[in-house]
Amino acid sequence: MTQHTDVVVVGGGQAGLAAGYHLRRQGLDFVILDAEAAPGGSWQHMWDSLHLFSPAEHSSLPGRLMPAQPGETYPGAGHVVDYLADYEKRYDLPVQRGTRVDAVRRDADRLLVEADSGIWRARAVISATGSWSRPFLPAVPGRSVFTGRHLHTVNYRCPADFAGQHVIVVGGGNSGAQIAADLALDGHVEVTWVTQRPPRFLPDDIDGRALFDVATARRRALDAGRSDTGGVASLGDIVAVPPVRAARDAGLLQAKPMFARFTADGVQWADGSHTGADAVVWCTGFRPALSHLAPLNLRGARGHIPTDGTRALGEPRLHLIGYGDWTGPASATLIGVGRPARDAVREIAGLL
Ligand SMILES: Cc1cc2nc3c(=O)[nH]c(=O)nc-3n(C[C@H](O)[C@H](O)[C@H](O)COP(=O)(O)OP(=O)(O)OC[C@H]3O[C@@H](n4cnc5c(N)ncnc54)[C@H](O)[C@@H]3O)c2cc1C
């Protein structure tokens, strides 16, 4: 059966909910289609010890401050899930769960949104599908000959799964540092941390609050035609959240440069030496989950869709939020997604 609505939001994580908040305020008819069975987007799937890199009040969506988590300066992922579940209830957001969108197509004066449970004809679409469903693994010689376990950030849960084992953690970003710290601090896992370039820790007094300010200042400078400040990347890559700081200060976070190749039972380094390993955790990032937009033929360089703000250059009825800075400064953060969501909905309201 085909249903009709003003706007379909694809994805019901934080970005989709922020869009829903603004669509409600504009009085537009809309539906949020989300592949998950439960609220919370990818926060439901984070590893057990993950905590935000900003305090609760600096991790809020529009309209409703995230309450503090008792006893925690930096809330855990479960607290974020509870907040998002409460948020969609509070604003009565029409989220249809267990619904995966396979394709968005042009159909005369409408966009046709094809999902596994039906078809929607919409006047505009907001894509907010995140990147969690597209983990990225780099090509490394011999990867398939390694007989140990390969995991990505998305599959990692807790150190107990590796008790007594040697684990190689690959990646010099926040996930790599945090997972290496999680395993190393446990004391029952031998950890080798591998990064492509020497790890760059941010100063200890910088957390997500400052990062948001830096990202916003960079965008303002670029918009005003001033020179690029370099943004967050100019400061470092790794937020020194408490466990990372503890592991670093205990000397447990000594990174090695990338190994040359896998062997059947471990890895071989550039100097020919060998380290045995039981598992490798790839903390090597994600790509935006955009396959449902393929029929629109909008892909540009690096797999992104070229945008002006949040609006797709090749399809003015399509907006993208979340994903990364290319859809707005700090668009892929809790506190940062509110502004692009507001801008997208304003433009859509103007269009309709
Ligand atoms: C390890 C890690 C730690 C992070 N820590 C922080 C932090 O401390 N603070 C912060 O602000 N940000 C943090 N982020 C960044 C960001 O806030 C999260 O990645 C956040 O989950 C992004 O929200 P989203 O709504 O864009 O995507 P998601 O949470 O991934 O939500 C997307 C939703 O879309 C659904 N979906 C996907 N494809 C389809 C489809 N075809 N049809 C229907 N539904 C679909 C998914 O099932 C999901 O429910 C972190 C990210 C990671 C990976």
- Nearest-CA residue for ligand 1 atom 48 is 41
Q: Could you read off the pLDDT of 231-253 as tens digits, one per residue?
A: 666 678 899 899 999 999 999 99
How confident is the model over 103-115, as pLDDT tens digits? 999 998 999 999 9
Ligand 1 within 6 A of 14 CB? yes
**Token pair of 227, please?**
């020179």
Question: Are the CB atoms for 207 and 53 separated by under 8 Å?
Answer: yes
Higher pLDDT, 53 or 94: 94
129 CB within 6 A, ligand 1: yes
Task: Give the end-to-end CA distance of the chain in Å, rounded to a whole number.
Answer: 24
Is 10 near ligand 1, meaning CB less than 6 Å away? yes
Q: Which amino acid is at 351?
A: L
Ligand 1 centroid to Cα of residue 11, in Å, is 9
135-150 pLDDT, tens digit each? 999 999 999 999 999 9
- Confidence (pLDDT) at 296: 97
Helix (H, G, I), strand (E, B) or coil at 279: strand
Strand order in the sheet with 266-268: 261-263, 266-268, 274-276
Cα–Cα distance between 180 and 174 in angstroms, integer? 10
- Does domain 2-133+286-351 sit in CATH 3.40.50.720? no
17 within ligand 1 shell (Cβ under 6 A): no
Is it true that 2-133+286-351 and 143-201+237-282 share their CATH fold? Answer: yes
How far does residue 300's CA lie from ligand 1's centre (Å)?
A: 22
Q: Which residue has the higher pLDDT, 236 or 336?
A: 336
Pocket test for ligand 1, best of 136, 333, 337 (most atoms within 8 A of CB): 333
pTM, entire model: 0.94
- Asked whether 345 and 330 are in contact (CB, 8 A), the reply is no
Residue ID of nearest Cα to ligand 1 atom 13? 333
Spatial CB neighbours of 60, under 8 Å, sequence gap ≥ 6: 66, 334, 335
One of 3.50.50.60, 3.30.230.10, 1.10.10.10, 3.40.50.2000 is the CATH number of 143-201+237-282, namely 3.50.50.60
Cα(211) to centroid of ligand 1, in Å? 18
Given the CA of residue 323, which atom of ligand 1 is nearest to it?
26
Which residue ranges make up each domain of the chain? 2-133+286-351, 143-201+237-282
